[in-house]
Amino acid sequence: MLNLCKAFLYAMAISLAVPNAAQASELKPLILGVHPYLPHDELISRFTPLANYIADTIGRPVEVRVGRDYAEHIKAIGNDTIDIAYMGPSPYVEMVERYGRKPLLARQVINGNPYLKGEIIVRQDSPLKTLADLKGKCFLFGDINSTMSYIMPQHMLEHAGVPLSRLGSYKFLEGHKNVALAVLSGTCDAGAVKQEVFQEFEPKGLRALAELPLVVDHLFVTSGKLPAPLVRKLRKAFIALNGLPEGRQIMTSIHPDMTALVPPKDHDYDSLRTLMKSKPSSGH
């Protein structure tokens, strides 16, 4: 009789465990959103190791989703239609201005440096020597919400006496690599890209005409609708990457020179916030 009772209890435990396991596998995935600063498939590849790590840590599926453009990405996290967002400095400032603050998870550090770097680029054989030489020339920007491919270079050109109205022409392209490729091909005289992309294309025939002003780097934020215990768990998981054996590989998958993830503060972006509120005299 005792053995029969044990068998019955074991069978009951198995029957109860099966629905629970099925329920866990059917949990709605968290969406990790990324702005399209690089080609879609490359971004999926770069962020999938992080998504898998988060999923294993919290016991819930995580999917990587690349926004159609920067504006859609800002709107998605602003309206809480994605759960985690990787954001550039300018899109983050714009999102907070329009939708209010969101819980912060982590900010990336590149080669031990907290700042995002970028370059105004030309071909190595270009006769252009200074920003003033860009008057009357063709200039390529990335997305209109991009920190290093529009916001910072536009202000830098303005202060150099080359507002948009004094350029011969200017265009907007999708993604930093497209800007680099177009300048390299001679489609346009100059453009602006983040340092990572410049370093990739410099050996192929590009040089830096000027370094862009430094701003605090990219960060991860969450939807305002996520439960506080889950936000705390996510925050702990991001920072824990610094000490895990697989952490380095996950971070360098996102950026080849990422050395750490650190706790961010909204006031880290106050100087950029001030700059973005000072509208250039030239329209676009």
Domain 118-213 in CATH 3.40.50.2300? The answer is no
Distance CA 248, CA 260 (A): 8
Say yes or no: do domains 17-109+216-277 and 118-213 share a fold.
Answer: yes
**Fold of the CATH domain 17-109+216-277:** D-Maltodextrin-Binding Protein; domain 2 (3.40.190)
Q: What pLDDT shows up at residue 104?
A: 98
pLDDT at 19: 36
Distance in angstroms (rounded) separating the CA atoms of residues 46 and 30: 17
Domain ranges of the chain: 17-109+216-277, 118-213
CA distance 164 to 59: 50
**Distance between CA atoms of residues 235 and 150, nearest Å:** 30
CA angle (216 as vertex; 210, 217 as ends), nearest 5: 90
Query: Which of 244, 263, 258 is CA-nearest to residue 53?
Result: 244
Tens-level pLDDT at each residue, the chain (284 residues):
444 444 444 444 434 443 343 444 468 999 999 999 999 999 999 999 999 999 999 999 999 999 999 999 999 999 999 999 999 999 999 999 999 999 999 999 999 999 999 999 999 999 999 999 999 999 999 999 999 999 999 999 999 999 999 999 999 999 999 999 999 999 999 999 999 999 999 999 999 999 999 999 999 999 999 999 999 999 999 999 999 999 999 999 999 999 999 999 999 999 999 999 876 654 44
Report the relative pairing of strands 115-116 and 215-216 from DSSP bridges.
antiparallel
Give pLDDT, residue 27. Answer: 84
Query: What does the pLDDT read at residue 4?
Result: 44
Residue appearing with tokens 């000490």: 243
